[in-house]
């Protein structure tokens, strides 16, 4: 892939334009995009290789915490919470399964224990 075509593809993907040969994932976009040399006169915050969202760490702490908490609340609002009936059913299923596994492992342990005692006496 030529440099011009790679730049064109990357630019199109940044503008959210679909293309028949567009990469399917962000990782594919990063692989398809060639490294650009920094232009003269780009320094500090505008430098293309500087990490996104990098700000002064003294002021970023509280703002980042508030943003994180807002995103947590947002994600929790998307959760489909089970009804009381579903919760009781799911809890019962888990308890039955765990009880079965405990009984199975206990029987297996007793059987192997007796086999070891029989062999090594």
6-15, 77-86, 108-117: lowest mean pLDDT where? 6-15
- pLDDT classification of 75: cutoffs 50, 70, 90: very high
Boundaries of domain holding 96: 82-121
Say if 55 falls within a structural domain.
Answer: no
Contact 33, 49 (CB under 8 A): no
- Given a cut of 80, is residue 32 above it in pLDDT? no
How many Cα atoms occupy the beta-carbon half-sphere of 85 within 13 Å? 0
Question: How many Cα neighbours within 13 Å face the side chain of 108?
Answer: 6
Give residue 61's pLDDT.
84
Task: Report yes or no on 5 lying in a domain.
Answer: yes
Q: Tell me: the pLDDT tens digits for 35-60?
A: 665 555 555 555 555 556 555 556 68
What total of structural domains would you count in the chain? 2
Question: What percent of the chain stands above pLDDT 70?
Answer: 51
Residue 64 lies in a domain: no
**Cβ–Cβ under 8 Å, residues 11 and 19:** no
Is position 46 within any domain?
A: no
- Residue 32: is it exposed, middle or buried by C-beta count within 10 angstroms (0-12/13-18/19+)? middle
């Amino acid at each position: 892939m030529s440099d011009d075509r790679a730049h064109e593809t990357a630019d199109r993907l940044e503008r959210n334009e679909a293309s028949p040969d567009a990469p399917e994932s962000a990782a594919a976009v990063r692989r398809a995009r060639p490294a650009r040399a920094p232009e003269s006169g780009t320094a500090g915050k505008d430098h293309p290789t500087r990490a996104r969202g990098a700000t002064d760490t003294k002021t970023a702490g509280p703002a980042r915490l508030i943003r994180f908490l807002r995103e947590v609340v947002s994600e929790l609002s998307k959760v489909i919470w089970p009804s009381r009936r579903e919760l009781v059913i799911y809890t019962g299923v888990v308890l039955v399964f765990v009880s079965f596994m405990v009984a199975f492992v206990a029987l297996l342990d007793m059987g192997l224990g007796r086999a070891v005692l029989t062999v090594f006496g």
